Structure 1
Amino acid sequence: MQQGIGFGHVENDREAVSRRSSRVKLTNSSINSICGTIEGSQYVRSILIFTKENLSEDFTRSLLAKYTRLKVLDFGYARLTEVPENLGSLIHLKYLSFRGTSITRLPKSIGKLQNLETLDVRTGLKVEVPKEITKLRKLRYLLGNPISIAVKDSLGSITSLEKMHVLTDPDGVVIRHLAKLTKLRDLRVSNVKGDYANTLCSSINEMPLLERLHITLNYGPQEIDLHIRSSLSKLRMLHLRGNLKEFPNWILPLENLLKLSLGQSMLTNIPLISLGNMPNLLILSFGPTSFEGETLHFQNGGFQKLKELNLVHLHQLSSIFIERGALQSLEKLQIMNIPQLKAVPSGIQHLKKLQVLDILYMPTEFLQRIDPNGGEDYFMIKHVPHLHVARTNSDFL
């Protein structure tokens, strides 16, 4: 009986390829032998690289020449610096990842990968991507920061894109072209300058299919307005990081929003009552310096579906009040590095569904009040099944 195609990986030698494996994992022990065999290579559809050895350009060129029927090629975090021109021979490729590598350019032949759907160049370096990438009419996911004037000027022509993670350029060229990417469902934009905030908002207004939006503003004292007119009716996850002039009120009508995360927004006023009326909000995170006020007050009936609440690095916050009937579905609460908060949130004992309470890097007085051995507030949290307390050497951050 003929042996069928398997799902295996190379550990020590050529055996997995000769077994007609459809998936090959290259490890330290197999990296030198894999290019020495040809038997079974026509059956391989996926190669994943897991090695700390340096991958030479000759090795990579041989690998690409041999496994021409690949659909998945993942160099993630491999020691790779050069990508050979024969990358374009992998005409069946759908997924290509260079995440965590040290490459700085891609060859022009990438334009031949007409079946490519995902390109991941999240390397932490500037990667020169040739204008030929605009020929990839099936490209749906572009992850990373492709740096090329030609690509920036024609980015809007890749209209098939559904997911894009990009670092904006100083001239705002990328932001101006985003408006043409009307099929985007997942957009992550970093290093947005205040001068281009209006342009970004105008571009987002042209993206009715957005489900995930992550905006990181350029770090600095400048307050930035984010005015989005579109209803964004499909938006499920929103993360805003940066100094905001005011809380964006366009968030409140987002009926399908499941997760909202704010960081470094420096807000002195957050409309908790209106936020609490959002019908489907499950996760709410007030990250580092997102709120500069002294009090958070969760009123009766608010946040009925919320499952997780994270309060992190809020240096001015000194009191939290939870009325009976608020946060009734809450299962996880994280309180981390809030130096002015000396007591547990008033009313926390009413959160009967709370399963996990993380208390991290809080001041000594707070920790003393929740001490199981005589702490005056311990009775308020003793019903929580999973209590996690972590402290630094000084009990204070």
Structure 2
Amino acid sequence: MFRVNELSFSALQKLLRQLKLVRVLDLQHAPLEKLPNEIGNLMHLRYLDLRGVLINDLPKSVKNLRNLRTLDVRNTEVKHLPAGINELQHLRHLFLSSFRDRENGFVKMDGGGKHFVKLQTLSGIESDEDLVKQLRNLTSLRKLYIGKMTQANSGDFCQSLERMTKLRSLTVLSESPLDQSIKMESLTKSTKNLEELKLKVPMKKLPEWFGSLNCLHSLYLFKNFLTEDPFPILGKLPSLAILTLASSAYKNSIVNFPPGGFPKLKLLRILGMENWTTWMPIEKGSMPEIQFLLIADCPRLFNKLTRWLQSPYQP
């Protein structure tokens, strides 16, 4: 393993000419604005970490890194991958942006990555018409994080998603208004083994396949437009341990937990639910393993919740 810290462009350029056999290159937060083309000569390189490096693009020579397994460009200024990068057929993990840093946008990729047949992680990719079709070739994916999903692309996206039977983590973000809802109702095969799910998509109710998410451990729903109570469905998920509901336009004013619901829930976060006014008494047997409860920016709920917390409760 070789780690580079605080190198100038010229010093790194000189160094790369000497490191023909290096396999791991960690340049996290190096004070660079550009990478030398010589990086493409590292034919044995398997791991390239560029997190926090203030580069705007990758040199075209990265397409020569035929043995690369992991490429990480999170928290950089890279917004577009160079042509030819989808020829890296041994790539396993491609980290483009993180969910935590989602406000900085996503990364575009020409060609859709159809040759990434061994790819297991694709994080922070921007949706487009070609990409969502090419995703059907990525049947080894275990983690997918995709942004800027549109109604027009969602049909092809779901068809591609159904081929990803190994998927364990799925994050889909959309900026579409409610009248351009994302079509996710048809999913079945790709969701049954999901352990983590994050959705920021316009939808009026939870799709039916939510009821079969028996492996789901963590769920994050935010900026949805739910008009139906999600708790009867979510409360029956046998493995759900972490639930976050944030900034939803859910119109129901009542927080009502079903009897015996949420058998494994340990962490519940309710954020920015402005319409919620009433927290109903939790039935005996509901949330028996709850450990952490976080409520923020729910001004109409707070007073009544305070009274509920002061009353005795036995799960």
Would you call these one fold, judging by a TM-score over 0.5?
yes
Show CA shifts across 1:109-166 (max 9, x none): 223322211111224534443333233221011121554xxx5225111111110013
2:184 alignment partner in structure 1: 226
**Would the alpha carbon gap of residues 195 and 124 (structure 1) be closer, same or farther in structure 2, given more than 3 Å must change?**
farther
Q: Structure 2 counterpart of 1:73, which letter?
A: L
Match of 2:197 among 213, 238, 243: 238
Higher relative CO (Cα under 8 Å, sequence separation at least 6) belongs to 2
Larger Rg: 1
Q: Secondary structure at the match of 1:192?
A: coil
2:260 alignment partner in structure 1: 301
Identity %: 28
Counterpart-to-counterpart distance in 1, 2:239 and 2:230:
17
1:323 to partner: Cα distance: 1.2
Counterpart-to-counterpart distance in 2, 1:344 and 1:165:
40
Residue pair 2:107, 2:126 contacting (<8 A) in 1 also: no
Q: Secondary structure at the match of 2:303?
A: coil
Counterpart-to-counterpart distance in 2, 1:213 and 1:342:
32
1:203 to partner: Cα distance: 1.3
2:102 alignment partner in structure 1: none
Q: Structure 2 counterpart of 1:380, which letter?
A: S
Q: Secondary structure at the match of 2:300?
A: coil
1:140 alignment partner in structure 2: 92
Counterpart-to-counterpart distance in 1, 2:2 and 2:67:
15
Residue pair 1:215, 1:241 contacting (<8 A) in 2 also: yes
Counterpart-to-counterpart distance in 1, 2:313 and 2:207:
37
Residue pair 1:209, 1:234 contacting (<8 A) in 2 also: yes
1:262 to partner: Cα distance: 0.1
Counterpart-to-counterpart distance in 2, 1:128 and 1:303:
42
**Would the alpha carbon gap of residues 259 and 71 (structure 1) be closer, same or farther in structure 2, given more than 3 Å must change?**
same
Structure 1 unaligned blocks of 5 or more: 1-44, 346-365, 370-376, 384-397
Counterpart-to-counterpart distance in 1, 2:78 and 2:152:
23
2:114 alignment partner in structure 1: 156
1:310 to partner: Cα distance: 0.8
1:195 to partner: Cα distance: 1.6
Which segment drifts farther, 109-118 or 322-331? Answer: 109-118
Does residue 178 (structure 1) correspond to residue 135 (structure 2)? The answer is yes
1:209 to partner: Cα distance: 0.5
TM-score by length of 2: 0.87
TM-score by length of 1: 0.70
Q: Secondary structure at the match of 1:238?
A: strand
Match of 2:303 among 328, 332, 343: 343
Counterpart-to-counterpart distance in 2, 1:174 and 1:302:
39
1:183 to partner: Cα distance: 0.7
Counterpart-to-counterpart distance in 1, 2:297 and 2:48:
40
Q: Structure 1 counterpart of 2:116, which letter?
A: I
Q: Secondary structure at the match of 1:250?
A: helix
**Would the alpha carbon gap of residues 197 and 154 (structure 1) be closer, same or farther in structure 2, given more than 3 Å must change?**
closer
Question: How many correspondences in the alignment?
Answer: 302
Counterpart-to-counterpart distance in 2, 1:266 and 1:241:
10
Residue pair 2:112, 2:135 contacting (<8 A) in 1 also: no
Match of 2:56 among 82, 104, 111: 104
1:100 to partner: Cα distance: 2.5
1:213 to partner: Cα distance: 0.1
Runs of 4 or more above 4 Å deviation: none
Does residue 267 (structure 1) correspond to residue 267 (structure 2)? The answer is no
Does residue 205 (structure 1) correspond to residue 162 (structure 2)? The answer is yes
1:174 to partner: Cα distance: 1.5
Structure 2 unaligned blocks of 5 or more: 97-105
Q: RMSD between aligned alpha carbons?
A: 2.3
